[in-house]
């Protein structure tokens, strides 16, 4: 049995301490810690990396604070369109879903697709039909309704903006709303999962990087597992998650070095603000971002753990 670790994120962007109350910060840190602990407990008990990232992501999807699952933002027509993906670094199998509504936990649908379908990516009504066939839990529109999110939509519509996650138009804050988790289990297997509610006031049908394997999510036991959060179009154009894997595999770079290069030298020059979390097959963890902050946390079998929001020293 080897070392094991998990890392999570809940979005990145212009996240300033001056714009957040002490109560808000405490609530975010509590939710991050709960998600980290949920995934870590599975790893500690000898569970798989896939099960750990699934459970951690479900925890984040169930929290209204994050733009995924229950906390998803509204599209331009006042609906919800959720995306998610998951990848197993041992088998290189993956599952993804986009443009769904009312499925309580999109990441569970992505996992069902990975395990029980010969296909990888489902969208819209076809994805929801598959969810019903697999007996996944659905919720009413009231479950996903948040007055805060609805007011964000109205404000965005007044200014005719497409807003990245729960941006506050009044104070100019930007936050890229995605949640995700990466893990390395005791057997050296890695996995990654990502889930999002998209962008406030986005046109129906727009798809970002979260459900795109290689862009927002990637896992391979040869190298690493990566989950991204940021301006999805730029992460797709950069094939951001896969780019980290490629640098590690073909240039023999470390996880942290490869992630730093992608975040600072590949994404930033084209306007790709955001970040990513990563873990390699030796359970090394890295949390990288080029924005003012990123909701993030990690826990390692050697005792290291952290949950943070703002810019600090790198783990």
pLDDT of amino acid 153: 64
75-89, 124-138, 146-160, 287-301 — which is least confidently predicted?
146-160
Q: Is the pLDDT of residue 189 over 70?
A: yes
Cβ atoms 113, 120 nearer than 8 A: yes
96: DSSP letter? E
98 included as an active-site residue:
no
Residues 121, 75: Cα–Cα separation, whole Å: 21
pLDDT of amino acid 18: 79
**Residue of 172 and 81 predicted with greater confidence:** 81
Evaluate the CA torsion angle 244, 246, 251, 254 in order and state its sign: positive
Q: Is the pLDDT of residue 24 over 80?
A: yes
Average pLDDT over residues 129-136: 98
* Virtual torsion, Cα 81, 88, 52, 101, nearest 10 deg: 10
Q: Which two tokens stand for residue 259?
A: 């992630």
Task: Tell me the pTM.
Answer: 0.92
Cβ atoms 195, 203 nearer than 8 A: no
**Residue of 13 and 246 predicted with greater confidence:** 246
Cβ atoms 220, 213 nearer than 8 A: no
Residues 24, 65: Cα–Cα separation, whole Å: 9
pLDDT of amino acid 169: 40
Kindly report, residue by residue over 62-114, the tens digit of the pLDDT.
999 999 999 888 877 777 889 999 999 999 999 999 999 999 999 999 999 99
Catalytic site residue from 178, 196, 223, 229 = 178
Average pLDDT, the chain: 90
Residues 91, 78: Cα–Cα separation, whole Å: 39
- 261-292 in b/e burial notation, b at 16+ Cβ within 10 A? bbbeebbeeeebbbbbbbbbbebbbbbbbbbb
Average pLDDT over residues 278-284: 98
């Amino acid at each position: 049995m080897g070392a094991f670790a998990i890392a999570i994120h809940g979005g990145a962007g212009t996240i300033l301490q001056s714009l957040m109350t002490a109560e808000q910060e405490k609530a975010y840190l509590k939710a991050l810690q709960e998600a980290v602990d949920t995934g870590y407990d599975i790893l500690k008990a000898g569970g798989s990396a896939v099960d750990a990232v699934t459970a951690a992501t479900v925890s984040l999807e169930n929290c209204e604070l994050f733009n995924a699952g229950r906390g998803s933002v509204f599209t331009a027509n006042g609906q919800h369109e959720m995306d998610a993906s998951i990848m197993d670094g041992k088998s290189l199998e993956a599952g993804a879903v986009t443009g769904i509504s009312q499925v309580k936990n999109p990441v569970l649908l992505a996992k069902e697709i990975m395990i029980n379908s010969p296909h990888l990516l489902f969208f819209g009504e076809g994805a929801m039909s598959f969810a019903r066939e697999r007996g996944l839990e659905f919720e009413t529109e009231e479950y996903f309704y948040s007055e805060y999110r609805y007011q964000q939509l109205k404000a965005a519509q007044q200014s005719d903006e497409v807003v990245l996650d729960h941006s506050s138009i009044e104070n100019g804050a930007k936050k890229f709303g995605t949640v995700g988790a990466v893990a390395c289990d005791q057997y050296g297997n890695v996995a990654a999962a990502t889930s999002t509610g998209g962008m406030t006031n986005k046109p129906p049908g727009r798809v970002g990087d979260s459900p795109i394997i290689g862009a927002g999510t990637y896992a391979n036991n040869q190298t690493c597992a990566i989950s991204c959060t940021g301006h999805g179009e730029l992460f797709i154009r950069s094939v951001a998650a896969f780019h980290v894997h490629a640098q590690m595999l073909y240039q023999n770079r470390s996880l942290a070095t490869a992630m730093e290069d992608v975040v600072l030298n590949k994404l930033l020059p084209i306007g790709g603000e955001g970040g990513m979390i990563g873990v390699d097959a030796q359970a090394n963890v890295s949390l990288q971002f080029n924005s003012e902050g990123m909701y993030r946390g990690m826990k390692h079998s050697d005792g290291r753990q952290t949950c943070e929001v703002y810019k600090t020293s790198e783990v």
